[in-house]
Structure 1
Amino acid sequence: MNNLIDDTGERIIPEQMKITNELLIEHLARYHFSVPHVYGRVLDLATGVGYGAHVIAKKCKKQIEEIIGVDIDPEVIKYAQGQYYHPLSSYQVEDVTDTKLPEKLGQFDVILSFETIEHIENEVQFMENIFKMLKPGGTLILSTPFGEGKGIPCGSPFHVHQMTENEFMQMFEKFKTKVFYCQNGALIEPVNTAQMVHHPLGIVIAQK
């Protein structure tokens, strides 16, 4: 087995975690939640060690052509290539804000982006890349934790900021349709706009 040390306090490495670990459960829940919406050519942004891309490759092997997992960290990509090989998956080192990323990778039917945008300084370029890489009619499934808002320091030293729920919902104006969900632990359910309840984390399924 490949060995990888988590020096961030945020990286999910299933082989080094207990099955009762809440963070692991939350992250896996998002990938399993995505399974019914995944098809064709798939991109997993900030794939980390590749466990999520592997879930999709295994669970959706009859629905997808391939899944590409990208991450800026060469060490986690090396780990993914060794630990989570699947004939339908591949992993490569890329910067998700690289202006040439759409040219490098092409277009996708589905793009997954879980717990990524809060780490990114240039989120405008990040979202532009996503939109360019989605085929017409393609689907984006994206999640992020909520906090005090853009431009406001948050409790995590690894997050640029954590947007509010309203800021999150306003980010997808360019998309034809969008459905918002909230997550609390392993539970993911549609947002009830009639109830003013704070949710720790949001997920959107948006169609170009």
Structure 2
Amino acid sequence: MLRDTGERVIPERMKILNGLLMEHIARYHFATEYVHGRVLDFATGAGYGAHIIAKMCKKKIDEIVGIDYDQDAIHYAKGQYFHPLSKFVVGDVIDPLLPEKLGTFDCIMSFETIEHIQEEERFMGNVYQLLKPGGTLILSTPFGEGRGKPSGQEFHVHQLTVEEFKALFDKYENKSFFYQKGVVIEPSDSAEEKNYPLGIAICKK
């Protein structure tokens, strides 16, 4: 039985106009413009996002792998979102052996994950190792008071500032940033003055 932790997005149990659901689905639709080849959905949760990519991008991806530490979530994803191009596996995003276990990817998506991770450097190190040279990273997180400061969110270690978020990607050759509010996603140069609560980075290794 897949438990709802309060932050868990399970579309089949939510109303179609639920703001959290719409916001999460918007990110995956946004990502369809960037995914290609072998794709990793890092912390896939219930698997609905990987399924969106498998269905909408079947002509430009080879495979999408969804990984999550929650065995119940992976079991749910396998039953609810089967697709010939998708695979769901149990694993921890900070496992140092993950690159050996999964191989490398042309594109990695990680939405609303890093704010839950205490071992931030290990998480980002795994992402970098798992991404092929020339590969694309798509990562999002909510903004807040900054690293090491209480966020007021029960399941968040902290929430990065805009500056801290952008600094995560110093290793990457090319990067662009977007802000999100609800379902609206805009480039940072046109959204910076609007106090958007979430950031999305698109980076090339």
C-alpha displacement of 1:194: 8.8
Q: Paired residue for 2:91?
A: 94
Which of 155, 176, 198 is the aligned partner of 2:152?
155
Q: Paired residue for 1:4?
A: 2
Q: What's the TM-score, normalizing by structure 2?
A: 0.98
Q: SS of 1:36's equivalent?
A: coil
Structure 1 runs (4+) deviating above 6 angstroms are none
Q: SS of 2:7's equivalent?
A: coil
Structure 2 unaligned segments of length 5 or more: list them: none
Distance verdict in 2 for CA 1:45–1:195, change over 3 Å: closer
Q: SS of 1:192's equivalent?
A: helix
Q: What's the TM-score, normalizing by structure 1?
A: 0.96
Q: Paired residue for 2:104?
A: 107
Q: Distance in 2 between matches of 1:192 and 1:129?
A: 29
Q: Paired residue for 1:180?
A: 177
Q: Distance in 2 between matches of 1:194 and 1:101?
A: 36
Identity, in percent, stands at 61
Letter in 2 for 1:205: I
Q: Distance in 1 between matches of 2:152 and 2:10?
A: 22
C-alpha displacement of 1:192: 1.8
Letter in 1 for 2:52: V
Structure 1 unaligned segments of length 5 or more: list them: none
C-alpha displacement of 1:157: 1.1
Q: Paired residue for 1:198?
A: 195
Letter in 1 for 2:102: L
Q: Paired residue for 2:47?
A: 50
Q: For this pair of structures, how many residues does the alignment match?
A: 205
Q: SS of 1:99's equivalent?
A: coil
Letter in 1 for 2:29: H
Q: SS of 2:189's equivalent?
A: coil
Letter in 2 for 1:173: D
Q: Distance in 2 between matches of 1:141 and 1:198?
A: 21
Which of 55, 68, 73 is the aligned partner of 1:71?
68
Q: Distance in 2 between matches of 1:127 and 1:4?
A: 27
C-alpha displacement of 1:4: 2.7
C-alpha displacement of 1:199: 1.8
Letter in 1 for 2:58: K
For 1:122-133, what aligned pairs fall within 5 Å after superposition?
Answer: 122-133=119-130
Alpha carbon RMSD of aligned pairs, Å?
Answer: 1.1
Q: SS of 1:48's equivalent?
A: coil
C-alpha displacement of 1:193: 7.1
C-alpha displacement of 1:196: 3.9
* In the alignment, structure 1 residue 35 sits paired with structure 2 residue 32: yes
Letter in 1 for 2:18: N
Letter in 2 for 1:41: R
